[in-house]
Amino acid sequence: MTRDPHRRLLFNMSTPPKTTIAYGGLADLAQWPADAPDRSSQEARTPAPWLALQFCVSKGSPTDAPGILAALGADAGPDPEATLESLVEERARQLPLPDGCLVLPAKSASRRARPDLLTAIAVIVKCSEFVWLRQKSPSLERLERVSEVALLVPAVAAQSMEEAIP
């Protein structure tokens, strides 16, 4: 019987592991209340505030690809869904938003974006229940169930949205 020289190491659990996993990618954007207990590590910085920005499609707006394309004045082509998805992807790339944003209930929005129809659709169809992702495949069926969402965005992004919307 051959003995594995590393076998002893597999059972050496006499000390707890010392690996710590931490993510600080959004630390500069967090807004902590002054009385928050974990504020001490953030005191040297003045973090940018977040805003809940609401995007909505007006009631009565079409929810099917041919209807949306007609409302946008775009040619539907032979495959209206593919044409609309292409327009949504292009608009999503242009949006001055982080690549991912937390989705909040639309009622909790502190500001309402006044985007054009394509921008509102691009935001709504790239949302899941909890997150908006720029790289997510658009779900056009979502427009049948959801007409408004709110995204938690840095205030700078909200200001950029207002300036950048055509």
16-69 pLDDT per residue, tens: 666 666 655 555 444 444 444 454 444 445 444 788 888 999 888 888 999 999
CB atoms inside a 10 Å sphere around CB 2: 4
Domain ranges of the chain: 50-164
Q: How many other CB atoms are there within 10 angstroms of residue 36's CB atom? A: 11
| pTM across the whole model | 0.68
User: Which stretch of DSSP H or E encloses residue 142?
Assistant: helix 142-145
Evaluate if residue 100 carries a pLDDT over 70.
yes
**pLDDT, mean of residues 122-131:** 93
Q: Which among 112, 65, 114 has a CA at the least distance from the CA of 87?
A: 65
| Residue 104, helix vs strand vs coil | strand
pLDDT mean across residues, the chain:
77
Give the separation between CA 161 and CA 19, rounded to whole angstroms.
40
Q: Which residues contact 72 (CB under 8 A, 6 or more apart)?
A: 87, 117, 118
Residue 82 has pLDDT above 80, yes or no: yes
Predicted confidence band at 124 (pLDDT cuts at 50, 70, 90)? Answer: very high
Q: Is pLDDT of 8 > 60? A: no
Q: pLDDT band at 83, cuts 50/70/90?
A: very high
